Structure 1
Amino acid sequence: MSDLPIIGITMGDAAGVGPEIILKALKDPEIQHICRPLVIGDAAIMERADRFVRTGLKVNPVRTVSEAGFRRGYVDVLDLDLLPADLEPGQISAQAGDAAFRYLERAVHLALDGELSAICTAPLNKEALHKGGHPYPGHTEILAELTGTEDYSMMLSAPRLKVIHVTTHVGLIDAVRMIEPKRVYRVIRLAHDTLKRAGVSEPKIAVCGINPHAGENGLFGNGEEEEKIIPAVEKAEREGIRVKGPLPADTLFFRAVRGDFDIVVAMYHDQGHGPVKVLGLDAGVNITVGLPIIRTSVDHGTAFDIAGTGQADEKSMKEALRQAVELAPKS
C-alpha cells in the first residue's frame, strides 16, 4: 500500500454534503485499493457526518501527513480544528466558508511540497466563501492564485467524454469577446499536454465553433470562426497536434462520445457543461488543468437542501478520486 498515491481530499463547506459523500466514497473497498486518502478538514465534523451516513468508519485525527496510518476501517483526517462540532447543516455560514478556504489552502501547500500526489475537492458554497472573507468565483480561481498560475482551464470528465473550456464563468456576450486565437491555442495545448501526461500517446482533439454550424462559411455570425479559432487550430496542427475544427457543436459531442475524439474544446460554459451533465450529474468530474498540481472535484454543489440527511450520492466523489489517481504523477 505504501506505493499508492496519497490523495488529499478537502472537506469543502462543512454545512453541505461534502463530509457525507467523502465518508461514503471511502467506504468503498475499490477506493482503498487505488490510493491512500487523507481528508483535510475537521475531525469533529467528519465524526458527526458518520452519524448521518453510518459507514462504521473510524475517524483518525492527525496533525501531519506522516502521522496518517491509512488503515482499513479508518479515515485519516488532517485536523485543522476550525469549526464547532454542532455546526448547523444546510445553513450559510461565514465560519464554514472561511474554513473551506483554509482546507484548500493547506492542501495546496502540501501538494506543492510533494506531500500529496493530488488534491480532490468536495464542494464549497460561494456565498459562504464570500461571507468568510474570500471573494473568489470558486475553487479554480483560488487554486490559480495559490499556485501562481496564469494559464489554466476547466476540464470536465464524464464516462466517454472529456471537455475543456476556453471561457467559463462569464456571460455569453463577454465570452465571445474574450475568445481569441492565443487563448484558443493555449487551451488546445493544455488539452494535449494533460492527456499526454495521463498516458494518451496521441490525443485526438476537436474544437467547437462559436456560431451554429460553426458559422457555415460565413452564413452565420460575423466571421468569428475565421478570426478567433482557425488561426489557433492551424498553429496547433503545425506543431504536430492532432486537432480538428472548428466543428459544429450540435454534432461534435455525439462524435466524441462515439469515440472519434479524446477531448472537446468548448468555447463557453454551457456549450461544454450541457453535454457532460446530460450524461449524468453523478458521474461528472471537474478537473483544473494547467496547475503545477493535480486537482479534481465533484461536479455538483453543496446540496444544502439534503445536507445532514445521509441521502447525498457519492458517485461523483468516487469518480473524482479515480481521476485524481489516474492523473497523479507516476514515479
Structure 2
Amino acid sequence: MSEKLKIGISIGDVNGIGLEVIIKTLADSRIFDHCIPIVYGHTKVASFHRRTVQVHDLNFNVIESAAQAHHKKANLINCWEDEVKIELGQVTEAGGKYALLSLQKATDDLLAGNIDALVTAPINKDNIQNEEFKFPGHTEYLQERDNAAEVLMFLVSDTLRVGVVTGHIPVNQIAQSITTEKILGKLKLMNKSLKQDFWIRKPKIAVLGLNPHAGDNGLIGNEEKDVIIPAIEEARANGILAFGPYPADGFFANGSYMKFDAVLAMYHDQGLIPFKQISFESGVNYTAGLSFVRTSPDHGTAYDIAGKNQASEVSFREALFEAIHIVKRRRETAVLNENPLAFSKHSRDRD
C-alpha cells in the first residue's frame, strides 16, 4: 500500500472530453491496484460528466487534501465553490477559468510533494489565458512553475518517441528560433531522459532536417549545414549517439524511425503529425526536463465529440501509467546511483 503513488489529475476544459476520459479510465477499478488517483475539480462537474457518459459504477471519494486520499478509490478535491455552467462542445470563459483553477491546485500539491506526479487533461490554449496564465500551453506553464531552465516536449509510445526543438510558436518564427545551441540542449535533455526515465542505456537519436530533403546540400536552405549538422557533431563529441539530419517525409514513410530510440524534430507539426498518425490513441505527451513528472494524453479538448460518449480513454490511461512508470524508474535510478549494488543487472537492463 505504501508503494502506490499518488497521481494528481487536472481536469482540463470542463466543456471538452477531459472529464469523460478521466471517468472512463477510473471506472476500471484495476487502476487502484497501481496508483492512488486524485482528481482536482468539483463533485458537481464530475457528476454531470459521469451522467453524460453513463458511468454509474464510479463514485468519487471527496477529500480536502491529498493526505486524505483513499488507496482503493477515485479521490476528488473540490477546487472551487462556484456553480459552473457546463456547455459541452463550446468555447467559454468558464471552460478556461476552471481548467486553470484545477491546474493551479494540482501543481501546488505537486511542488509541495503532496502528490507524486501530474496527469493533465486537455485545455483550450485560448480561453485559459488571463493575468495568471500567459503561456502557449501546459509545457511552458509548468516550466515556469518549476523554474526549469530547459524542457522538452516529448511524445512517447511503444513504437515511437518524438521530441521537438521548437514548440508552440508560429511557423514563420521557426527558422530563426533554431540554433545550434538550442538543438544541442534538446539533444542533451532527450538523451538524459531516455536513460533516466526510460532506462535505455545507450540511446540512439535521429535528428530531422528543417528544409525539404534536409536542405539538399544547400539547394533548399542552409540551416542543415550551418546549424543542425554542427549541433549533431557537438552532441556526438559529448557522447550522445545522434544521427542525421534526415528528410522528415522519407524518414517516417520508410520506417527508419524504428531503428532509433527517439527522434528530434525541428518543429511541432513536423514531429507531432507523424507521431499521431503512427501512435493514434496510444501516445502520451511527456514533459522532460522538469524536476517532477507530468504526462498528458496526446489529444486536445475535442469539442466536436464532447458529451457524445465517443471519446477514447486509451491515451489518457496510457498517460497515467507512463507517469507511474517514470516516477518509479527515476526513484530506482536515484537509489542505484547511490548504491550500485542495490539492483541486479537484470533489473537495470530490463527496459
Question: Smaller-chain TM-score range?
Answer: over 0.9
Look up the match of 1:206: 206
* Secondary structure of 1:220 counterpart: coil
Cα distance in 2 between the residues matched to 1:3 and 1:145: 30
The question of whether the paired residues in 1 share the 8 Å contact of 2:12 and 2:121 is answered with yes
Cα deviation per residue 1:121-174 (whole Å; 9 max; x = unaligned)? 001112321268633222112112222223112111233011000012223331
CA distance in structure 1 between the aligned counterparts of 2:230 and 2:64, rounded to whole angstroms: 51
Q: Aligned residue for 2:64? A: 63
Instruction: Please tell me whether the aligned partners of residues 31 and 318 of structure 1 are also in contact (alpha carbons under 8 angstroms).
Output: no
**Taking structure 1 as reference, are residues 109 and 131 closer, same or farther at Cα in structure 2, changes over 3 Å only?**
closer
Q: Which residue identity does 1:149 align to in structure 2?
A: A
In structure 1, C-alpha distance between the alignment counterparts of 2:204 and 2:82, rounded to whole Å:
46
Q: Normalised by the size of structure 2, how large is the TM-score?
A: 0.87
Matched, 1:144 2:143: yes
Q: Secondary structure at the match of 1:305?
A: helix
Is the 8 Å Cα contact of residues 62 and 78 (structure 1) preserved in structure 2?
yes
Give the whole-Å Cα distance in 1 for the aligned partners of 2:71 and 2:309: 24
Q: Distance in 1 between matches of 2:44 and 2:223?
A: 53
SS at match of 2:193: helix
Q: Which residue of structure 2 aligns with residue 169 of structure 1? A: 168
The aligned length equals 328
Question: Residues of 2 paired with 1:146 and 1:298: CA distance?
Answer: 21
Unaligned runs of 5+ in 2: 333-351
What is the CA deviation profile of residues 273-331 of structure 1, one whole-angstrom value per residue up to 9, with x for unaligned ones? 11111124422221112122111111212122322232221111111112111221325
Residue 129 of structure 1: SS of its match in structure 2? coil
8 Å CA contact retained: 1:288, 1:294? yes
* Correspondences of 1:218-257 after superposition (within 5 Å): 218-221=218-221, 223-254=222-253
* Worse-superposed segment, 80-89 or 284-293: 80-89
Cα offset, 1:195, TM superposition: 1.0
Question: 2:122 matched to which residue of 1?
Answer: 123
CA distance in 1 between partners of 2:131 and 2:124 (Å): 10
- 2:11–2:102 CA contact under 8 A, matched in 1: yes
- The answer (yes or no) to whether the contact 1:35–1:325 under 8 Å persists in 2 is yes
Partner residue in 2 for 1:98: 97
8 Å contact from structure 2 (residues 214, 224) kept in 1: yes
Partner AA of 1:302 in structure 2: T
Q: Which amino acid aligns with 2:45?
A: I
TM-score normalised to structure 1 length: 0.92
The 1:257/1:15 distance shift into structure 2, 3 A limit, reads farther
Check conservation: 1:253, 1:264, Cα contact below 8 A: no
Q: Tell me which amino acid in the other structure corresponds to 1:190.
A: L
The question of whether the paired residues in 1 share the 8 Å contact of 2:284 and 2:297 is answered with yes
Please tell me whether the aligned partners of residues 95 and 132 of structure 1 are also in contact (alpha carbons under 8 angstroms): no
- Mark the CA change 1:257 to 1:116 in structure 2 (over 3 Å): closer, same or farther: farther
| Cα distance in 1, alignment partners of residues 268 and 142 from structure 2 | 19
CA contact (8 A) 2:79 2:105 kept: no
CA distance in 1, matches of 2:161, 2:234: 22
Matched with 1:261 is 260
Instruction: Specify the alignment match of 2:33 in structure 1.
Output: 33
> Which residue of structure 2 lines up, in the alignment, with residue 47 of structure 1?
47
Distance 1:94 1:173, change over 3 A: closer
Distance 1:131 1:173 in 2: 25
Partner of 1:13: 13
Q: Residues 29 and 204 from structure 1, CA distance in 2 versus in 1: closer, same or farther, beyond 3 angstroms?
A: farther
Distance, in Å, in 1 between the alignment partners of 2:85 and 2:223 is: 54
Aligned amino acid, residue 62 of structure 1: I
CA distance in structure 2 between the aligned counterparts of 1:2 and 1:257, rounded to whole angstroms: 43
Is 1:310 paired with 2:309? yes
Aligned equivalents of 1:207, 1:27: Cα separation in 2: 40
3-state DSSP class of the match of 2:184? Answer: helix
Query: Which residue number corresponds to residue 321 of structure 1?
Result: 320
Per the TM alignment, residue 225 of structure 1 is displaced from its structure 2 partner at its CA by: 0.9
Amino acid at match of 2:51: R
- Shift, 1:220, TM fit: 2.6
**Alignment gaps of 5+ in structure 1:** none
**Shift in CA distance, 93/219, structure 1 to aligned 2, threshold 3 Å:** closer
Deviations 1:86-136 (A, max 9, x none): 533223332331221121122222222222221100011123212686332
Shift of residue 237 of structure 1?
A: 0.8
Q: Contact 2:160–2:279 (CA<8 Å) still a contact in 1?
A: no
Give the direction of change, closer, same or farther, for the CA distance of 1:36–1:255 in structure 2 (3 Å limit): farther
Alpha-carbon distance between aligned partners in 2 of 1:87 and 1:250, rounded to the nearest angstrom: 42
Greater mean alpha carbon deviation, residues 82-91 or residues 225-234: 82-91
Instruction: Please identify, of 81-90 and 181-190, the stretch whose mean Cα deviation from structure 2 is larger.
Output: 81-90
For 2:202, what is the secondary structure of its paired residue?
Answer: coil
